Amino acid sequence: MTPAQRRAIFLIAMAGLAAFVIWGISGLPGFGRYPGPYGPAILKVAEGQTNATGIVSAVNFEYRGIDTVGEEFILFTAVVGMTVVLRKLRGEPERPAIEEARERAQPAGGAGVRAAALAFTGPTALIGWWLATHAQTGPSGGFQGGVVLATAFLLVYLGGEFLTFQRLSPVDMTDAAEAIGAGGFAAVGVTALVLGLPYMDNYLPLGKAPGAVSSSGTIALISFLVGIGVAAAFIQIAGELLEQTMLVREGGG
Amino acid sequence: MAYFPYLVAAWILACGLYGLATNRDLIHQIICLIVVQSSTYVMLLAAGYVTGGIAPYFSDVPGTPKAVDPVVQALALTDVVVEAAVTALLASFAIQAHKRFGTLDPQDLAEFKG
């Protein structure tokens, strides 16, 4: 099929899709006139029931907690899948990336990149930790915090230190952290069953004041566990891809 | 104007699909898929918007004021996580395809398959 033919077929299909989408949109309530019952219902009760002032976190880690377990395991499965897809194939020439890195005389980035990356590593880790532990109070949570935490490790790599990146994130450690994050999340839910409550019920003390860091019971705990799991998952994803870059480079040159 | 944000989502979807159909590089196509998925964020957040509503965070707001729907915002978060997982997997498939066949052009890859 030539690109012109491909484009023609695509445009015909898009005309159909456009008609369908416009028909669908015309049946929606206008922007800003959301009629759904769930949002307002949760907004009314969430703060009183959970002592969390971040209602999105309350939805994620409490009302929709069982969904979020699945979400956490989607990420987990993706990392496992990546590791399997990128495993060493038979007959593939392979030299560990760590040797490659050792032989590099000069770090990849310039001095400015290096300095900036190292200067931002500490603050980035702090912000990640803060986000992961403050889901109950504001617009943050384990997923966001975990990604920012993983970024702190990647900044070390950006500073030109693949060796340090690998030393900071050994596979055993990130494996364990991911298991603690994902398994801990599921375990928090199962503990509720052991206590004779529904799965993922909030059985920890809710704290006295809404919006305090110590408030909201299992919401804060789950968010923290998710933060650890997500950080480990993203460090592993990045580590796998970076290692591949080095192997491919070796094969090409 | 009442439907404008929905049309923005539809336009982003169309841009992403156009890229998917016309690009001949797996990495570009993965990026186009991310664009397609971005349209769902706009759609979700637009669907949950309430005129005059504040963000559903009440740490410094007394009482229970009018706020936008927190459920679709939580869904958007799920959406982002799934996108990250899908992107990571697709990227590793692309790496493996390039390693085996030395190309990232989907048309050439189809020829290799026979």
- Total tally of structural domains belonging to chain B: 1
d(CA B5, CA B3): 6
Question: Does A163 or A174 have the greater pLDDT score?
Answer: A174
pLDDT interval class at A252 (50, 70, 90): very low
What CATH number has the domain bearing residue B23?
1.10.287.3510
The answer to the question of residue B44 being in a domain is: yes
Interface of B with A in 1-30 (CB under 8 A): 1-7, 10, 13-14, 17-18, 21-22, 24
ipTM greater than cut 0.90: no
Nearest residue to A116 via CA among A75, A160, A84, A77 = A160
**What's the pLDDT at A105?**
52
d(CA A230, CA A134): 16
Produce one character per residue of A205-235: b if its CB has 16 or more CB atoms within 10 Å, e if not.
ebbeebbbeebbbbbbbbbbbbbbbbbbbbb
Judged by a CB distance cut-off of 8 A, whether residue A214 touches chain B is no
The answer to the question of residue B78 being in a domain is: yes
pLDDT interval class at A90 (50, 70, 90): low
pLDDT (average), residues A92-103:
62
**What's the pLDDT at A135?**
86
d(CA A252, CA A99): 17
Query: Is 0.95 topped by the overall pTM?
Result: no
DSSP A30: P
pLDDT in tens, B54-97: 888 888 887 767 889 999 999 999 999 999 999 999 999 998 88
- What are the sequence ranges of the domains in chain A? 36-246
Judged by a CB distance cut-off of 8 A, whether residue A34 touches chain B is yes
Domain housing B33: 4-54+63-109
**What's the pLDDT at B39?**
95
Q: Which residues contact B34 (CB under 8 A, 6 or more apart)?
A: B16, B83, B87
**What's the pLDDT at B60?**
80
**What's the pLDDT at B23?**
87
The answer to the question of residue B67 being in a domain is: yes
**What's the pLDDT at A117?**
87
pLDDT (average), residues A69-77:
92
**What's the pLDDT at B85?**
93
Instruction: State whether A44 and B55 contact (CB < 8 Å).
Output: no
The answer to the question of residue B114 being in a domain is: no
pLDDT in tens, B32-48: 999 999 999 999 999 88
pLDDT (average), residues A72-88:
89
**What's the pLDDT at A167?**
76
Instruction: State whether A43 and B56 contact (CB < 8 Å).
Output: yes
| pLDDT, mean over chain A | 84
Evaluate whether B90 touches B30 at the Cβ level (below 8 Å). yes
Total CB pairs under 8 A between chain A and B: 164
Judged by a CB distance cut-off of 8 A, whether residue B110 touches chain A is no
**What's the pLDDT at A253?**
38
Give me A176's structure tokens: 């364990």
Evaluate whether A36 touches B63 at the Cβ level (below 8 Å). no
pLDDT in tens, A193-205: 999 888 888 888 8
pLDDT (average), residues A234-244:
86
Task: Say whether pLDDT at A244 is over 50.
Answer: yes
Sign of CA dihedral A189, A192, A196, A198: negative
Nearest residue to A173 via CA among A101, A236, A238, A240 = A236
